Chain A
Amino acid sequence: MPVNMIVCCKQVPDPEAPPSVFKVVNNKMTLPPDVKPVIGQYEEFALEAALKIKDTGGGKITALSLGNNFVRDVIKKALAVGSDELILLEDEAFEGGDSWSTANALAMAIKKIGEYDIIFCGRQSSDWDAGQVGLGIAEILGIPAVTLARKVEVVNGKVKVERVIPDGYQVVEVTLPALIIVTSGLGALRYATLKGIMAAAKKQPVIWKPADIGLEPSQIGAAGRHSKLDKLFQPVKEAKCEIIEGETPAEAGANLAVKLREGKLL
């Protein structure tokens, strides 16, 4: 059965960048320009979950993102790997939001898209790590949500999900429309094919401004926050690691054993 899917993706600073490049300046995270943004890792898994469903039963995938100053090549990866459409909520006014204002704006955009069976989100963004937006969208739209999915299938007009729990998993069945929040374990996002990259290059994203989704400036971005960011800081860590030496790595290993024993650690 072909399904209409929406995948929420976020453009984030590459979380795999070395910790030393993350610097807080004036209460804001600043990264050197050579750290390229990426689509968040869990949103990549969410895209893959949607693509797998499209592979088997067909359907349409709309990628949806909120932010400002999107790097086109980065966000267009969603198209290159096989999404049919890309909608960007792109405006300066969307900047500085929190989980509340972001979920609200995305939910309004999803209402405007109108037709959907499954909305996919990642479990948490790779920058703020809050893990709230997906569930927030589901609450606002009044649809069921299943979190921490590692396998998603459409069976007889319902979604069947393997949901990760501590020390195992649950098989959960939910009626459509539903929002599914994806974790790892589903497989990495496929590579874009040359054909996909060329098609994506030709396709322009649809840009929606706040007014297009019926929101006032007071409801979005920094103005629409429910929580106030009082301070962003980096606790100072003093490196105090004692390196155990040896003529060879093996000797160093044996010396470590002696050290652990002498220090009564073991």
Chain B
Amino acid sequence: MAEYKGILVCGELVDGKLASITTELLGCGRKLADDLKEDLSCLLASDAVGGASKEAIAFGADKVYAVEHPALKEYQADSYMQAAGKLAKEISPRIILIGQTSMGRDSAPRLAFSLGTSLTTDCLDLSIDPETKLLVQTRPVYGGNAQAIFTSEFMPQMATVRTKAMSPLERDDSRKGEVIPTKIDIDMSKVRAKILETVKEEAVGIKLEDAPVIVCGGRGIGGSEPFQTTLKELADLLHGAVGASRPPADNGWVSEALHIGLTGKIVAPDIYIAIAVSGASQHTAGCTGSKHIIAINKDPEANIFREAELGVVGKYEEVVPALTNKLKELLAG
């Protein structure tokens, strides 16, 4: 049996740069690697990896496996799995960390099953058990109504990590590491799912993930129109963005791109104003990282008041315009 050693982070690139989740995984992986006194490696697979390798080292990697192939330009499972699967078998890491992102959700279970090992998805916390040296994996379950801690003796131990759950290290360009250009042949006859077209449905204005203020509407908003008027007016005033919990997205009141929650976007703005949002755990899973949560709901028993630090009980149709007008006045003065 092969000896399993070291930690492998499966990285992601956005416009040729390391994705923020990858810096977070490297930050977390660095700590685990130091605890185990083993190396931290990072896989970067793309048509051109370029300067991102050095970036990965600056954020904590000891080794970067740079795999370049035209078929890796856009993530496609059958191509990517050939690269990630082959590398994982070659270097047999003890732990593989992947982001709980669009790509991670699609690739991590495939990789785990193809390697015959186990995987814990959407982890919020990872540590090394001092005695067994196993990876202790904590994740929310039951839509966020509980948390579970898992370990596995199957190697490699695999986990995906929720975005914004871990902190990256300070970027340090003087850090030393090794870039290993890695040639992997991709058999195109094994690519069974073909991407015919990629369509961007960009929301106008500030991206939800980058917005310092988010005004989020829930089921109680009752339709699409208030998202364009009442909520948008408040968001615009605060240079923020409008989001939604799952029911408005499911009902088609807003685009799916605005959906915040366990199965939507995970956000962590300075100010999160939840309006007519009941606060189901699967929604709050997407916003608990916010610095300040403010709730407006007509139901004083709504769960969102358990998450919020400030709240108003009342119909949003009355509360929100008054809030917006007063803020306009105060911000002008």
Contact = CB atoms under 8 A, between A and B. Distances in A.
A164 to B, nearest CB: 6
Interface in A121-169: 123-124, 126-132, 134-136, 138-140, 144-148, 150, 160, 164-169
Interface residues of A, number: 87
B148 A250 contact: no
Contacts of B106: 135, 147-148
Interface stretch (B22-30, B34-42, B114-122, B173-181): B114-122
A230 interface: yes
A184 B145 contact: no
Which of A239, A255, A266 has the most C-beta atoms of chain B within 10 angstroms of its own C-beta?
A: A266
B233 to A, nearest CB: 13
Contacts of B312: 243-244, 246, 249, 252-253, 255-256
A231 B149 contact: yes
Main secondary structure of the interface of B (DSSP, over half): mixed
Interface stretch (B43-51, B61-69, B164-172, B300-308): B300-308
A13 to B, nearest CB: 8
B271 A129 contact: no
* Secondary structure class of chain A's binding surface, majority of residues: mixed
B133 interface: no
Contacts of A135: 106, 109-110, 113
Contact of A170 (B145, B150, B199, B292): B199
Residue of A132, A171, A185 contacting most chain B CB atoms (<10 Å): A132
B184 interface: no
A255 B198 CA distance: 47
A208 interface: no
Contacts of A242: 309-311
A226 interface: yes
Contacts of A144: 78, 192-193
16 contacts: A19-B303, A29-B145, A123-B263, A129-B121, A131-B122, A136-B113, A145-B193, A169-B199, A183-B263, A226-B152, A227-B152, A231-B149, A233-B148, A243-B305, A250-B322, A265-B292
